[in-house]
Structure 1
Amino acid sequence: MNVVNVNITNGSYPINIEPGRLDSLDQIIPEDVTSIAIVTNSTVGILYGKKVRDVLLRTGKNVFYVELPDGEKYKDWITLNKIFDSLLSFKLDRRAVLVALGGGVIGDITGFAASVYMRGIRFIQVPTTLLAQVDSSVGGKTAINHPMGKNMIGSFYQPISVEIDTDVLTTLAPREISSGLAEVIKYGLILDSSFWEWCEDNVNNLLSLDKIAIEYAIKRSCELKSHVVGKDEKESDVRAILNLGHTFGHAIESGLGYGKWLHGEAVGCGLVQAAELSAYSIGFRESDISRIRNMVKSIGCPSNAPNFGFDRWIELMLLDKKNDSGEIRFVLMKNIGEAVIQNVSHNAIKHVITKTATAIF
């Protein structure tokens, strides 16, 4: 088993990565837990709900089950309240633990519920998509969406562990694998040029879920994210570099309507746009823009953004959480593997939107 530790101010927690990890979930439940509530969605529940419940029943604790509808559009107040209704009806106390069994939506909404139920109870991340395994399950960001912006209501709240079973990836649609790989390649672009080059060389192995390649990609992604989170848990400084491509990507998700593009698809397209903006603003190499565009296409993500019109793009990006006093902040690249954060002029953004936002929806 591969173990990556996330070291933060108030302690640390493990990311455990191995095939068949679902079969060992009972071993990571703390002894003082009074009850367990699995939170999942209708899609994942069919695949793994009974299996995980049976494994957790080996602890001898009461195990409850909360099944939510599947989709980004359900990451909202109404669905969050359904979790609270269930927890209260189960009479869960402060020593209960929630198990988030699903992708990024389930991880985010369950973590947020855990952070505020009885002013905070423990939770465990069991991510079942590649994107959640390499990104959203790690680092303690929890949230729900608002119609005016993605992840605008939430908290920083760390799990007590992240349990990654690489076998579950075989049940994902190819589009979900592509979405997750967008976040994988992002880590190389911001922090590790050698990892980026490894991804370029191994793209076919990653797409085919070669066991050695995909486990290494997950482990290295978690190591890089954990390193940044350990320096800046609540995104006051360096952690913001993890958002390369996300200012564009979140605008795409909000503008199209949550769920039309997967999060990683929007981020993949955003990586191309961020590369163009980096070239225009700080001299990022044109040849490396081509490498990024080709890689985004190779993993199966869109490389042309929707044509919302410049004014709408600006309106959407001004809602981004990373903005400062009305200025739009972007993560830019000096080179592959070296990222910086800075405000960018509207003229620079207009140049990039004109060049990249050409898809009609």
Structure 2
Amino acid sequence: MSSKNYKIKVGFSIGDYNGIGPEIIMKSLKDKSITDFFTPIIFGSGKLFTYQKNIFKIQQNFHYVEETAQAQNGKINMVNLWKDNVKVDLGTPTEESTKMAIDSLEAASQALKNGDIDVLVTAPINKDEMLKHGFKHAGHTGYLEEKFEKKGLMFLVTDELKVAVSTHHIPVWQIPENISKEKLKKQIKLLNQCLIEDFCIQKPKIAVLGLNPHAGDGGQIGNEEIEIIQPVIREIFENGIMAFGPFPADSFFQPEKYKNYDAVLAMYHDQGLAPFKTLAYADGVNFTAGLPVVRTSPDHGVAYDIAGQNVADERSITEAIFTGIKIFKNRQEYNELMQDRLRPKKAYADSGVDEDLPDDSEG
């Protein structure tokens, strides 16, 4: 896969089709030159997408395949998971749309695991409805962690702002008990390695936020900073990782502050995602860091309130596509460089010359 002529395969799970998933996927692929850059493979339904493309007046043809291996370069491929008619009720989640979201995600994830696609882009899902219908995880991250047997990290990224969160979809009262020294050490190390491998940052600077208001105010508003977060940052820093903090979250996301760092680790979901989505909503990408595969998604939800109105903005999913491709290439290049670095040097036993010694023949 190191060949320059290799065309990256990007797979799409469609999310809840009664939301804006199919709309933003089709809009992101509407430029006829898009297949010059990668090979799109949608895990969906030909009849569903044909129905919706007529609503949105999108001129688009699909190449239908039974399995991923049949996908062709230069075409928008559709793995036709459902051949029957489907009932569309735009703006309202239904049992059928929820089950299809689960089926699409499972098929696309299996293709990613098999190596049949290189990057997975997931359209928005309705987590509550999926849980009601047998899905065991409160989001994509937990599902992918189980699928690939590796702990991941929710990482929201743009070119200028990158925010990871230590805890994901849990109640606020459970946050303190889900923060520990061991967990934070693993997450900061993972984040550091991700920035090196996936974003080509040689010596990342990572800002760590406090848990409590004003980062605890020296213990006056909670002790987690003193007892857990500060000792971890100190230990990590002494071991060569450029981690700093803990910083008060309420004042950190001013441009003159956050731009001094390559990434931020927030302690909980809204602490990191609220400022991120405010600053970078249209261009933000959700990337699952730490997995052996590349998965991205737009940083917004199903948007039932605008489904079917032809006003959904596809910029975030377009960014997700090209961020995923960039990460895949960066990771590929990093692995190739590491292989070259670790490859043993050729021995010159026959001549008795040590290639590492200087040549003194001229002086």
Please classify the TM superposition score into its range, dividing by the shorter chain length.
under 0.3
Q: TM-score, normalised by structure 2?
A: 0.27
- TM-score of the aligned structures, taking structure 1 as reference length: 0.27
Task: Kindly indicate which of the two structures has a greater share of residues assigned to strand.
Answer: 1
